[in-house]
């Protein structure tokens, strides 16, 4: 763990540039993606962000918050960043967080900051003709990274494993707020029977349960060797997380809806989860994800980013994670090109400078 922390600090040193980045233009828009879920993930959904440096280099990021996120970028983040100069993306990130600190510690503002931060990292890497992975590591990139697939039943689980996935996560939101534990147990048993002992199984409750339900189900299914129960309760119920993480026979995962390093420092200090699951497009971008890896290393917490096989998280997972595992991507997010298709061997890093992505023509 200590080695990892040192490596991250060193990485930030070697990525220092001699010349400052001056930000000339910041543009954000919401792409149309056929097949996007008709809920907040669409109405407050993924936005594309372009940053143009005074050298003409353009960086592309993906953030969140829909039109509200775009407003944040066009108003306060533009006011903060435009025509200012930074020698590292982390400095621009610190400026954005400080500028929005009275109203922007969680939710839509960090979602918007994420898109800008990722666009700045993309431009910063392109200025040096390096991939983001090469900014974060001086080692050879791994050829493939192990993946897990989010599935809805035991049939999908065995198909995912036949397709080369290392692990599966059963999404059990459809069983509701008060599921019948016997039904969950029979789903988990059927999945373990099909997968055998060599593959990991996890559960995602999507924040729908309470403490009693979680403990009852955890005790019921512990015999099936489950890696984690994800978001058993809502993200605001931090005392419940701490209680569950101390008392559940299965590790508790969370953080998919947590923001900025302060949010993850709080989770760590409370021992609220055993697995962090930050979403790089929401939580504060790559700068925040690097901070999260440092916090995790200090507290012995595992990091498994939400949708980790998409191109923005994958370089950090490859460079910084001692036990890399990348979650399957969204099939409906068609706004960017350059999403390397996973193979039977796992997720593949993009080649090329920056994050290796570009805007899809249809947007």
Residues that bind Mg ion (CB under 5 A): 204, 256
Q: Identify which of residues 227 and 256 has a Cβ nearer to Mg ion in the complex.
A: 256
Q: How far is the CB of 40 from Mg ion (least distance, A)?
A: 14
Q: How far is the CB of 56 from Mg ion (least distance, A)?
A: 39
For the chain, give percent helix, strand, coil, nearest 5. Answer: 40, 15, 40
What residues pair up with 229 in beta bridges, in sequence order?
A: 203, 252
Q: How far is the CB of 124 from Mg ion (least distance, A)?
A: 30
Q: Which residue is nearest to Mg ion (CB)?
A: 204
Q: Identify which of residues 88 and 306 has a Cβ nearer to Mg ion in the complex.
A: 306
The whole-angstrom separation of Cα 261 and Cα 273 is 15
Q: Identify which of residues 50 and 231 has a Cβ nearer to Mg ion in the complex.
A: 231
Which of 152, 155, 167 has the alpha carbon at shortest distance from 225?
167
The string of DSSP codes covering 312-345 is: TTHHHHHHH-SS--EEPPPTT--SEE--PPPBTT
What residues pair up with 86 in beta bridges, in sequence order?
A: 21
Q: How far is the CB of 234 from Mg ion (least distance, A)?
A: 13
Cα–chain center distance at 360:
21
Q: How far is the CB of 328 from Mg ion (least distance, A)?
A: 12
Q: How far is the CB of 199 from Mg ion (least distance, A)?
A: 19
The whole-angstrom separation of Cα 201 and Cα 53 is 45
- Residues in Cβ contact with 312 at an 8 Å cutoff, skipping those fewer than 6 apart: 61, 62, 118, 280, 281, 286, 355, 357
Cα–chain center distance at 115:
13
Q: Identify which of residues 48 and 272 has a Cβ nearer to Mg ion in the complex.
A: 272
Q: How far is the CB of 164 from Mg ion (least distance, A)?
A: 22
Beta strands in 206-344 (DSSP E): 226-230, 252-254, 275-276, 302-303, 326-327, 336-337
Q: How far is the CB of 7 from Mg ion (least distance, A)?
A: 28
Q: Helix, strand, or coil here: 226?
A: strand
Q: Helix, strand, or coil here: 57?
A: coil
Q: How far is the CB of 248 from Mg ion (least distance, A)?
A: 17
The whole-angstrom separation of Cα 201 and Cα 190 is 11
Q: Identify which of residues 50 and 256 has a Cβ nearer to Mg ion in the complex.
A: 256
Both structure tokens of 304: 């498994």
Q: Helix, strand, or coil here: 53?
A: strand
The whole-angstrom separation of Cα 242 and Cα 207 is 15
Q: Identify which of residues 204 and 240 has a Cβ nearer to Mg ion in the complex.
A: 204
Q: Identify which of residues 279 and 321 has a Cβ nearer to Mg ion in the complex.
A: 279
Q: Identify which of residues 122 and 256 has a Cβ nearer to Mg ion in the complex.
A: 256
Both structure tokens of 327: 């979650």
The whole-angstrom separation of Cα 337 and Cα 325 is 23
Q: Identify which of residues 256 and 321 has a Cβ nearer to Mg ion in the complex.
A: 256
């Amino acid at each position: 763990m200590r080695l990892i922390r040192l490596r991250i600090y060193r990485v930030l040193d070697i990525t220092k540039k001699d010349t400052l980045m001056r930000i000339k233009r910041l543009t954000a828009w919401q792409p149309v993606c056929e097949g996007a879920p008709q809920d907040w993930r669409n109405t407050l959904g993924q936005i594309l962000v372009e940053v143009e440096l005074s050298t003409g280099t353009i960086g592309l990021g993906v953030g969140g918050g829909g039109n509200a996120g775009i407003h944040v970028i066009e108003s306060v983040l533009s006011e903060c960043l435009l025509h200012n100069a930074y020698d590292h993306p982390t400095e621009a990130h610190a400026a954005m967080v400080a500028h929005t600190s009275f109203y922007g510690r969680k939710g839509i503002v960090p979602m918007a900051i994420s898109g800008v931060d990722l666009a700045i990292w993309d431009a910063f890497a392109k200025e040096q003709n390096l991939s983001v992975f090469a900014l974060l590591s001086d080692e050879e990139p791994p050829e493939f990274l192990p993946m897990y697939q989010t599935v809805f039943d035991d049939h999908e689980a065995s198909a995912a494993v036949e397709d080369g996935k290392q692990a599966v996560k059963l999404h059990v939101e459809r069983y509701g707020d008060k599921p019948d534990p016997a039904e969950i147990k029979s789903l988990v048993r059927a999945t373990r029977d099909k997968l055998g002992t060599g593959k990991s199984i996890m559960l995602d409750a999507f924040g729908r349960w309470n403490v009693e339900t979680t403990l009852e189900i955890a005790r019921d299914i512990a015999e099936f060797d489950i890696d984690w129960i994800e978001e058993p309760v809502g993200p605001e119920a931090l005392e419940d997380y701490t209680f569950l993480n101390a008392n559940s026979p299965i590790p508790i995962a969370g953080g998919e809806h947590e923001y900025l390093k302060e949010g993850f420092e709080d989770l760590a200090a409370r021992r609220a989860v055993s697995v962090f699951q930050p979403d790089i497009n929401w939580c504060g971008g790559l700068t925040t994800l690097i901070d999260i890896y440092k916090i995790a290393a200090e507290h012995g917490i595992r990091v498994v980013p939400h949708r980790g096989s998409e191109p923005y998280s994958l370089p950090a997972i490859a460079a910084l994670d001692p036990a890399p595992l990348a979650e399957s991507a969204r099939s409906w997010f068609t706004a960017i090109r350059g999403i390397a298709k996973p193979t039977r061997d796992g997720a593949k890093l993009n080649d090329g400078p920056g994050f290796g992505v570009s805007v899809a023509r249809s947007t």
